[in-house]
Amino acid sequence: MGLSNTFTQCASSEAPYRELRPEIQISESSSARTTLSEAALPLAAPGTGLARFLDACNLRNPDATPVWFMRQAGRCLAGYRNLRERYGILELAKNPELAAEVTLMPVREFGVDAAVLFADIMLPLEGMGLDLEIEPSVGPIIHNPIRSRTDVERLRVIEPREDVPYVLEGIRLVRRELEGQKAVIGFSGSPFTLACYMIEGRPSRDYARAKSFMYGQPDVWDLLLSKLSTVIVRYLTAQIEAGAHVVQLFDSWVGSLSQADYVRYIQPHSQRIFREIAGYGTPTIHFGTGTSALLEPMAEAGGDVISVDHRVMLDDAWARVGPDRAIQGNLDATRLLAGWPATEAGVCDILRRAGGRPGHIFNLGHGVLPDTDPAILTRLVDFVHATTACSDITLGVQ
């Protein structure tokens, strides 16, 4: 189906966009949030991906819904796979020129509205004193995992300009290349997700060792997360100063916790991070997976944009986090493996649930899967832009 027919396709289902959640309205007061300083925001020419992205973050009406994909830098792209035949993941991430090249690949191929730096959430941990390796078939491996208070006390608080200069230079290179056209996204792992890797020593399905550490040594746990929060604030601040327009906190594994445990063990630390970087006026995105039980306390912790995965309905999630927050998501990435009709149906449902309200950033529920056809990602971006650009989404017509 051509793009000229997408309005009819999306409007032909059960209800017009706004009728799904008419109770969610953006009040006049909610548009004047204190976390974002208008004077601090970068100027962006109308019609650019940068303007589109910043408008959505600030609950303003963009010219079209902005689109980007987590893990868009690499994975399914032939150019990235060619580089991976010659370089390891850490080699790519620590070479600013190569990292910038990989970062720009999906921007050029898919037409997304933002570039997210090719990096790994584990990078700051080396400077803290951990022996990090990334095994291609396994993932991150920590050869000296955290086991005691002594281990935590030994951890160093990093100086980003000394310990991860390649990340900052990569951001500068990408921003210079895209200046004024696309948003540049910096990111960090969250205290909980990083702590899980540091204690488990490798990827885990149940995080049993990390959670038992949390329950059994709560004072040491708080010390670890406090130290990690200091590192994350420094890391994100340095990325903002290097040129990131937006930063995202990845709390990828937090869905393994109950709401009570999140509030007790995690929320104060995440809250501190968002509070301490708020003064920069840089939009922040708070992401987690499997967080249907945690949306309200996550919103309380902070983030101008709350990113949700495919397990929740976007309109339900938006109602729960509140109309003063933007929302990001939330297409199931496996739909793209099923071909365009399944992808299109999922996209239309999400756009209906967004209802044309200011503040929606289109993304997947998590990351791009390696077997995804790049052509479908390009078509998805064009589809969202064409369907939402300068149109009356309530009626589904231009």
Structure tokens at 190: 């969250």
Catalytic one of 84, 147, 209, 320 = 84
Report whether 256 contacts 211 (CB < 8 A).
yes
Active-site choice (75, 325, 357, 379): 75
For residue 335, what are the CA distances in angstroms to 3, 290, 332, 371? 19, 18, 6, 12
Catalytic residue among 17, 80, 197, 280: 197
Quickly list H helices, the chain: 6-11, 49-57, 78-84, 89-93, 96-110, 123-127, 149-154, 160-163, 165-178, 191-200, 208-216, 218-242, 259-261, 267-277, 295-301, 314-321, 340-354, 374-388
Residue 308 · residue 330 · CB < 8 Å: yes
Q: Is 71 part of the annotated catalytic residue set?
A: yes
Q: Which of 71, 272, 325, 353 is catalytic?
A: 71
Q: How far is CA 268 from CA 146, 228, 280, 300, in A?
A: 21, 12, 20, 10
The reply to whether 197 belongs to the active site is yes
In terms of Cβ atoms closer than 10 Å to its own Cβ (0-12, 13-18, 19+), residue 36 is: buried
User: Please, which residues have CB within 8 angstroms of residue 297's CB and are 6 or more apart in sequence?
Assistant: 259, 262, 263, 267
Catalytic residue among 17, 52, 113, 120: 120
End-to-end CA distance of the chain: 17
- The answer to whether 120 is a known catalytic residue is yes
The set of residues, in sequence order, having a beta carbon less than 8 Å from that of 37 and lying 6+ positions away, is 281
* Catalytic site positions: 71, 75, 84, 120, 197
